Structure formats: structure tokens, C-alpha cells
């Protein structure tokens, strides 16, 4: 029987994730997928995680099984603070909240900070689940231009100059190996972005799930680390990160670093959202980190993704007349544009017929999607599947 339910305006006719819509094709026999943002299952450190899990239930069963404090297990908070310090940011445990994936960190922030109708800037293109969260929360989303180096801070300065200072509430970005473009924002632009946040009085939400997956070039400090160097910028950066891409998404363990007034309110919000992130998963993560296993695994992981990325770039060479791509220095994605005015959405059914999947780039735009754009992830498939999948993609272009 169909009742006439009354939904909130945002949920009257919500559209689900365009990427998840592609999932139904994944189960077709023989399909090769460059579509998802899943890490490579073959790279999971199964034995390290099994050891950490066995230790958790052997040594600290009640940490695993009972409720934990909303901010997280102290043992994990300590490990995550050390990890942030190794990444160049002076973070203390009391600056952090363990979240159920970095996705939850953004949801908590929007609950606490986003007045419906407030203006939020995002990179153009940007991460679709952040865009969806912003739309459902009633944000006025504005796109900020990017190029191969990420946010174009000169263009942003011009865009902001045309607005009243203070009317942008926040800017959400993935400055290091962005999803979908793979771009890494250079140091000078990071500093410029922080100065713009000060001058125009907005907050910066720095989402950093991929930063540790660098396989070329030099590390660039996070916006959080740099915020101490720019006058007035301290307290303007909220940093979100996650173990999903570097360890295992199945833990659903992420974290937030936020100024005290914001963090304290996020904790109040989290009490009503899930009380605490799975303490069992937290305890496993804490043991894994305390054993030094992540630091030992990261170089191999980055090297594994470097090989996959290189293989993909090599396999794309024969398609250069159809597809222009930007080589990334880390992360999981290659971003490209079809030449000759080809629409990626028109290419997709031909690709599916050839049994290869990608994501048409329009899913990543808040406004005015570039219909020629496509995202290819090299993370999940093996090297042979990358070769074969790209040969199929080449045939789809013909």
C-alpha cells in the first residue's frame, strides 16, 4: 500500500550517486572497471590486519566490544596524532575526532556549520559525495575553476573580489591528488588559498584521503600544516582524512582535525549520529598503526599504484588522438577529455558493449559539466586488466 509520505524538500526526489548507478554493470561477466574509487583488494595487508585484529581481541577485548568515548579510543587518537605530526601538522589528540570514514567528518561539519542557503565553494570538478552532501544540506554551491595544478587561485581571487566578504561560508577541496582530477595543489597556491580564506573570512575544509599515496614528485605540506604560517589562517582549516585508501575501507575509520569550538560541536552532533565509531575497528587500526605497519606498508603501496598508473598512461598512448589525459603524481585517478567534441556519456554504452567501465566526468560538476570529460581509476584492476581494459576502450572510441 502506497502511503503519501511527506519528505524534507531535499529528499522529495533525491538522485542517488551516478557512480553507484554504474554498479549494476560491474557484475556482468568479464567486465573490466576503471569506474570505482575502490582501493586494490590485492594491496590489502591481510596478514598485518589479521595480527592487529587478533591482538585486539586477545589483549583488549573490552576496548573492542564496549562503547567508546565519542571522540574515539585514546589509543587510536594517539596514533593518529603522531601520524599527523609525521605529516608535518602539529596536532594533539584533543584536536581530533575519530569519524566513521572521512565522509562522516564532512556530514558532522555540515550539521554544525552549514546554515541552509549558505554559500560553499567547491573545486570544478569535485568529489560527488561531497557535492551530494552539500546539496542535501541546502547549500548554495559555487564552482571554483581548476587547471592541471588544481584550484586556480588567481581565478578564485577574482571570483571572490566580486562578492561581499563573509558571504562564502566555506570552501571544500581535495588539494592532494584530487578526486576526480588527480591534481596536487602547489605550495604557492596553497599559501594563496589560505590568504584568500583570511581576506574573505571563510573556512577551508581540506579532505585528504589520498595524500599518503604519492608516487612522483615532492611532498607538499597540507593546508592544515601551512595554516600556522599565514597570518590569521590558524583556526580556518578543518582537516579530514581516512584509513580507507591507505589501509582498508572496511574499517570505516577516518578522522577530523578541527578548532576547539567546531570540534566540540561535532562531538555533540556525533552523540546523536552514531555515539562512537566502531571501537572494535578503532582498536584494530590502533594496533596496526602502533606496530609501525602502516609506515612500513606505505612505500610498497605507493609503488604498486605508481606501476598501475604508469601502465594506464602507457595504454592510453595509442588513444592520444581521441583522449587527452593529465598524468597524476599520486592517488588513484586519471582525468581526461575526449577530443573532437565526443560526449563521454555517448561513449559509455559503447564501452559497456566492449566490457569496460569508466565514469563520465559530468558526475563531478556542480555546474556546467564538461561533457567530454572522463575519470579512469587505475587503482582496483590488475596490470593485465588495465592493458586489456584500455584496448577495449580504444575499440569503443573507434
| Cα–Cα distance measured from residue 11 to residue 6, given in angstroms and rounded to the nearest whole number | 9
Does 27 contact a second copy by CB under 8 A?
A: no
Residues in binding contact with a second copy, number by CB under 8 A: 81
| Cα–Cα distance measured from residue 109 to residue 131, given in angstroms and rounded to the nearest whole number | 14
Q: Which window, 172-180, 277-285, 351-359, 371-379, contacts a second copy (CB under 8 A)?
A: 277-285
Does 31 contact a second copy by CB under 8 A?
A: no
Instruction: List binders of a second copy among 251-270 (CB under 8 A).
Output: 251-252, 259, 261-262, 265, 267-269
CB-nearer residue toward a second copy: 83 or 281: 281
Element (H, E) at 196: helix 187-199
CB-nearer residue toward a second copy: 84 or 281: 281
Instruction: List binders of a second copy among 282-311 (CB under 8 A).
Output: 284
Residues in contact with a second copy, shown as a per-residue x/- string from 120 to 139 under the rule CB under 8 A: ---------x--xx--x---
Does 107 contact a second copy by CB under 8 A?
A: yes
120: nearest Cα among 203, 181, 206? 203
Instruction: List binders of a second copy among 214-233 (CB under 8 A).
Output: 232
Closest CB 154 distance from a second copy, rounded Å: 26
| Number of other CB atoms surrounding residue 91 within 10 Å | 21
Eight-class DSSP state of 39 = P
As a 3-state breakdown, the chain gives helix, strand, coil percent values, each rounded to 5, of: 45, 15, 40
Instruction: List binders of a second copy among 137-196 (CB under 8 A).
Output: 169
CB-nearer residue toward a second copy: 125 or 128: 128
| Number of other CB atoms surrounding residue 60 within 10 Å | 17
Eight-class DSSP state of 8 = P
Closest CB 91 distance from a second copy, rounded Å: 16
Residues in contact with a second copy, shown as a per-residue x/- string from 6 to 25 under the rule CB under 8 A: xxxx-x--xxxx--x--x--
Give DSSP secondary structure letters for 205-217.
Answer: EEE-SSTT-B-SS
Closest CB 353 distance from a second copy, rounded Å: 25
Q: Which of 33, 34, 91, 104 binds a second copy (CB under 8 A)?
A: 104
Q: Which of 32, 35, 113, 323 binds a second copy (CB under 8 A)?
A: 113
Closest CB 114 distance from a second copy, rounded Å: 6
Residues in contact with a second copy, shown as a per-residue x/- string from 62 to 81 under the rule CB under 8 A: xxxxxxxxx-----------
Eight-class DSSP state of 72 = -
The neighbouring-strand residues paired with 186 are: none
Please, which residues have CB within 8 angstroms of residue 224's CB and are 6 or more apart in sequence? 84, 89, 91, 206, 237, 239, 257
Instruction: List binders of a second copy among 341-380 (CB under 8 A).
Output: none
Closest CB 271 distance from a second copy, rounded Å: 5
Please, which residues have CB within 8 angstroms of residue 77's CB and are 6 or more apart in sequence? 71, 93, 96, 98
Backbone angles phi and psi of 378, in degrees to 5: -95, 0
Amino acid at each position: 500500500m502506497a502511503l503519501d509520505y511527506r519528505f524534507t524538500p531535499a529528499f522529495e526526489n533525491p538522485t542517488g550517486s551516478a557512480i553507484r548507478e554504474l554498479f549494476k554493470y560491474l557484475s556482468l561477466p568479464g567486465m573490466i572497471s576503471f569506474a570505482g574509487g575502490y582501493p586494490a583488494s590485492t594491496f590489502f595487508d591481510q596478514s598485518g590486519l589479521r595480527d592487529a585484529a587478533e591482538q585486539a581481541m586477545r589483549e583488549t577485548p573490552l576496548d573492542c566490544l564496549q562503547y567508546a568515548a565519542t571522540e574515539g579510543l585514546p589509543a587510536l587518537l594517539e596514533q593518529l596524532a603522531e601520524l599527523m605530526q609525521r605529516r608535518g601538522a602539529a596536532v594533539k589528540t584533543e584536536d581530533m575526532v575519530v569519524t566513521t570514514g572521512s565522509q562522516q567528518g564532512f556530514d558532522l561539519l555540515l550539521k554544525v556549520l552549514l546554515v541552509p542557503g549558505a554559500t560553499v565553494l567547491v573545486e570544478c570538478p569535485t568529489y560527488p559525495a561531497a557535492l551530494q552532501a552539500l546539496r542535501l544540506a541546502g547549500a548554495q554551491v559555487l564552482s571554483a575553476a581548476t587547471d592541471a595544478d588544481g584550484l586556480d587561485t588567481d581565478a578564485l581571487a577574482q571570483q571572490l573580489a566580486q562578492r561581499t566578504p563573509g558571504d562564502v561560508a566555506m570552501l571544500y577541496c581535495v588539494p592532494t591528488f584530487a578526486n576526480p582530477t588527480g591534481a596536487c595543489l602547489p605550495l604557492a597556491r596553497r599559501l594563496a588559498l589560505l590568504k584568500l580564506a583570511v581576506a574573505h573570512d571563510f573556512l577551508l575544509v581540506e579532505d585528504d584521503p589520498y595524500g599518503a599515496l604519492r608516487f612522483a614528485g615532492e611532498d607538499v605540506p597540507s593546508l592544515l600544516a601551512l595554516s600556522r604560517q599565514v597570518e590569521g589562517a590558524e583556526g580556518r582549516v578543518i582537516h579530514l582524512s581516512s584509513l580507507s585508501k591507505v589501509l582498508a575501507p572496511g574499517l570505516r575509520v577516518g578522522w577530523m582535525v578541527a578548532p576547539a569550538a567546531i570540534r566540540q560541536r561535532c562531538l555533540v552532533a556525533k552523540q546523536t549520529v552514531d555515539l562512537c565509531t566502531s571501537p572494535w575497528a578503532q582498536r584494530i587500526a590502533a594496533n596496526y598503526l602502533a606496530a609501525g605497519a602502516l609506515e612500513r606498508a606505505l612505500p610498497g603501496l605507493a609503488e604498486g599504484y605508481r606501476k598501475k598508473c604508469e601502465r594506464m598512461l602507457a595504454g592510453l598512448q595509442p588513444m592520444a588522438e581521441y583522449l587527452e589525459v593529465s598524468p597524476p603524481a599520486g592517488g588513484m585517478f586519471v582525468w581526461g577529455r575526449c577530443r573532437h567534441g565526443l560526449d563521454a556519456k555517448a561513449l559509455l554504452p559503447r564501452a559497456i558493449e566492449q566490457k569496460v567501465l569508466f565514469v563520465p566526468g559530468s558526475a563531478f560538476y556542480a555546474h556546467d559539466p564538461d561533457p567530454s570529460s572522463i575519470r579512469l581509476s587505475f587503482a582496483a584492476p590488475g596490470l593485465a586488466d588495465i592493458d586489456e581494459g584500455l584496448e577495449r576502450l580504444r575499440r569503443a572510441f573507434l
